[in-house]
Amino acid sequence: MLTRNSLVFWVEKYFYNPSLSQKLISFCLLPLSYIYCFLMLVRFKSKVAEDFGIDIVSVGNLTVGGSGKTPLVIALAKEHLNAAIILRGYGRDSSGLYVVKDKNKILCDVSVSGDEAMIYAHKLPRAVVIVSEDRKEGIKKAKEMGVTSVFLDDAYSKHDIKKRDILIEVDTSNNRCLPSGPYRERLWKAKEVTLFREGIDFKRRVELKDATVKMSLVTAIARPERLDEFLPKVVSKNYFADHHTFTKKELEDILKKDKSDSLLVTYKDYVKVQDFGLKLSLLDLEVELISPL
């Protein structure tokens, strides 16, 4: 039986490191990709950008899967005294608009906010954090709360909002649109963007906190192999689908199986499991800006 985890990992391999059979599937789906990409172009051409009278910056990437946009948003937002972060809140158990954090305190738990929004709430103590499928409603709410700048998490495709767009360059040999490749949209010629490249415009740094002798890596991020260059020695690597909701038992089972001293997690995992009472080690990934916004 195909589990959700195995399906997600199959798709990630299909997009970024395909086998021969997956390359064949990709080729067969090319006609659908052409249609999809054309429809995205028509959609882009049909949109008129609304000016909300506030500084709005979108940070994202063109492909499906992780690119490290969350730590980049954090690094950019830290330079603003009165900012709001607005995101869809993928993977949350709620819907609609929620103020996850005002300028003073966190107002809900991770099941309501989703994991990425809770990272922002922890990492940006002075910022407002809002989740909303409707980004325009989120912007209006942020303005009501008196912010002077807004950062949209992964909103390149919101062509009906006047904003500055930052795109993180993602290395992939497959430059096709969905479903043949990983591209959700193209970099349209009529759209101005700022391209951020790792090692040129920003660099990643990692701090290992509360390390133990025997650690088991547990993570639910997209393309988890991205962690390999930052990893210390671990007993095992346990990958779950992006935004997976952990249970205490499945984590206890890993500790028991590996006879580990702690679970090594990223901050995205930490915000979901910190209250389980288990011994955690933290792989805290942050971004340092080289080029100013």
Q: What does the pLDDT read at residue 196?
A: 94
Question: Which residues on neighbouring strands pair with residue 265, listed in sequence order?
Answer: 282
Q: Are 75 and 151 contacting, i.e. CB atoms less than 8 angstroms apart? A: no
- Angle, alpha carbons 73-79-85 (nearest 5°): 40
pLDDT digits (tens, 9 = 90+) for 56-80: 999 999 999 777 899 999 999 999 9
Question: What distance in Å separates the CA atoms of residue 21 and residue 141, rounded to the nearest whole number?
Answer: 48
Residue 266's pLDDT is 97
Query: pLDDT tens, 154-208?
Result: 999 999 999 999 999 988 878 899 999 999 999 999 899 999 999 999 999 999 9
Strands 98-101 vs 128-131: parallel, antiparallel or unpaired: antiparallel
pLDDT exceeds 50 at position 94: yes
Instruction: Give, to the nearest 10 degrees, the angle between helix 4-16 and helix 20-28.
Output: 80
pLDDT digits (tens, 9 = 90+) for 218-276: 999 988 988 999 999 999 999 999 999 999 999 999 999 999 999 999 999 999 999 99
Q: What is the distance between the alpha carbons of residues 215 and 53, in angstroms, rounded to a whole number?
A: 49
Q: Kindly report, residue by residue over 112-153, the tens digit of the pLDDT.
A: 999 999 999 999 999 999 999 999 999 999 999 999 999 999
Instruction: Tell me the three state secondary structure of residue 267.
Output: helix
pLDDT of residue 5: 79
Q: What is the pLDDT at residue 1?
A: 44
Share of the chain above pLDDT 90, in %: 85
Q: Give dist(CA 110, CA 98) in Å, integer.
A: 12
pLDDT the model gives residue 2: 52
Between vectors from CA 32 to CA 30 and to CA 34, what angle results, nearest 5°?
70
Q: How confident is the model at residue 21 (pLDDT cuts 50, 70, 90)?
A: very high
